[in-house]
Amino acid sequence: MKGKFIGVGVGPGDPELMTVKAVKIIKSVPVICAPRSSPHRPSIALKIIKNILKKRNDKYEVIEPVFPMIENKENLKKYWDHAAEIISEHLSEGKDVAFVTIGDPSLYSTFTYICRRIKKKFQVEMIPGICSFTSCAASACLPLAEKDETLLILPNVNKKIKKIIGYVDTVVVMKTSRHGNLLKKIVEEDPRKKKIISVVNCSMKNEKIVEGFVEDGGYLCTTLIKFLSE
């Protein structure tokens, strides 16, 4: 019997924000796949689940494929293909593999690229996790949307925002520290009153909540922009 490939969302960073089902799977699967952005950088997802793994008394294996933060899609495909091959070997041996990812596996996750390659031959399952931006909103005590308000979620900052920002009530921009100046310029040009909150390392011990924009927030920086009608 072939193994199952399971995308497991482990939430924004605080281990207590993992779902019961996510914890159950992490405690039981024989293979954990924890992606990292560099051979020299530890996996954030693996760090979140480390205490769960420490309590396991059975044998399990951890694989950490590297998915570098590069823009060249052809080079990225090579990394995705290589990871899919390694995972497929375990699945062919009848071992379930849990691909742990921060946030939710369906939202801007590398899991989706591997899933496309795996699901052609193996069974796939996805376990949802708490998204970073909902956790950011909770930390800031800021409602993302009310009544018939529209919510826009952007993976990064680009000039497309300028064309659509006027039609939405709340904007979530992830990884804002990369292009913070462009975002600030676009938002300030909008005449509406607004509340701007940036959250760095949401739900982690070093979480930081800032009024306005952050230029040096690092990779895990999300900005919430709420246009006010009152």
What does the alpha-carbon distance between residue 29 and residue 197 come to, in Å, rounded to a whole number? 38
Positions in the chain whose pLDDT score sits under 50: none
Predicted confidence at residue 160, as pLDDT, reads 79
**Exposure pattern of 22-40 as b/e (b: 16+ CB <10 Å)?**
beebbeebbbbbbbbbeee
Provide CB contacts within 8 A for 79, sequence distance 6+.
Answer: 65, 66, 67, 68
What is 75-94 written as a DSSP string?
HHHHHHHHHHHHHHHHHHTT
Q: Which domains does the chain have, with CATH numbers?
A: 4-127 (3.40.1010.10), 132-227 (3.30.950.10)
Note whether 19 and 128 are within 8 A (CB). yes
pLDDT of residue 77: 93
Partner residues linked to 127 by β-bridges = 8
Selection from 165, 176, 172, 161 nearest residue 225 by Cα: 172
49-72 pLDDT, tens digit each? 999 999 999 999 999 999 988 878
**What's the confidence (pLDDT) of residue 71?**
79
Query: How crowded is residue 70: how many other Cβ atoms within 10 Å of its Cβ?
Result: 10
* pTM, entire model: 0.92
CA dihedral 84, 85, 86, 90 (to 10 degrees): 100
Residue 183's pLDDT is 85
Name, in order, each residue with C-beta under 8 angstroms of 102's C-beta and a sequence gap of 6 or more. Answer: 9, 10, 11, 12, 13, 44, 45, 48, 129, 132
Give Cα 54 to chain centroid, integer Å. 23
Instruction: Give the residue from 154, 144, 153, 142 showing the smallest Cα distance to 209.
Output: 142
- Residue 71 CB: number of other CB atoms within 10 A? 6
